[in-house]
Amino acid sequence: MSDWWKGRAHDQCTHARINASNYPGTRQLCCECDQPTERCEDDSIFVGDTGPLCADCGHVLEQQIEDMRADDRREREAEAMALYYQNHPHG
C-alpha cells in the first residue's frame, strides 16, 4: 500500500511507450498546430519556407497564399485600370 506512487510512475512510462509506438521514428510535428504531421522527412509538407506542416495546415496555408495572390492580382488589375483611365480620359 505504501507503493501507490509506483502505479503513477508506471503510467507515465507506459504513456511514453504508447507515444513512441504511435509515432515511430522521428516524430514530426506540424510547425503550425504542433500535431503529428503523420509524415516523415522524405514526404514532409512545406508551403514556401513554412513547414513541416500537417496535411490540414498545409491546405490552409496553400489556400491563404492563393487568396493573397488573387488579392494581389486584383490590386494590380485595379492599378492598371486606373492608369489606363488616366491615360485615356473619357470625353
| Separation CA 15–CA 8 (nearest Å) | 11
Position among 32, 51, 52, 61 found at the interface with Zn ion (CB under 5 A): 32
Interaction between residue 61 and Zn ion (CB under 5 A): no
The stretch near Zn ion (CB under 5 A) out of 6-14, 20-28, 29-37, 67-75 is 29-37
Q: Nearest CA to 48 among 57, 67, 61?
A: 61
State the Cα–Cα distance between residues 45 and 54, nearest whole angstrom.
Answer: 7
Using the rule CB under 5 A, is 57 a contact of Zn ion?
yes
CA distances from 71 to 59, 76, 77, 78 (A): 18, 9, 10, 10
For Zn ion, the closer of residues 38 and 75 by Cβ is: 38
Does residue number 52 form part of the binding site for Zn ion (CB under 5 A)?
A: no
33 binds Zn ion (CB under 5 A): yes
Which is closer to Zn ion, CB of 28 or CB of 57? 57
CA dist 10 and 16 (Å) reads 10
State the number of binding residues for Zn ion (CB under 5 A): 5
Instruction: Using CB under 5 A, list all residues that contact Zn ion.
Output: 30, 32-33, 54, 57
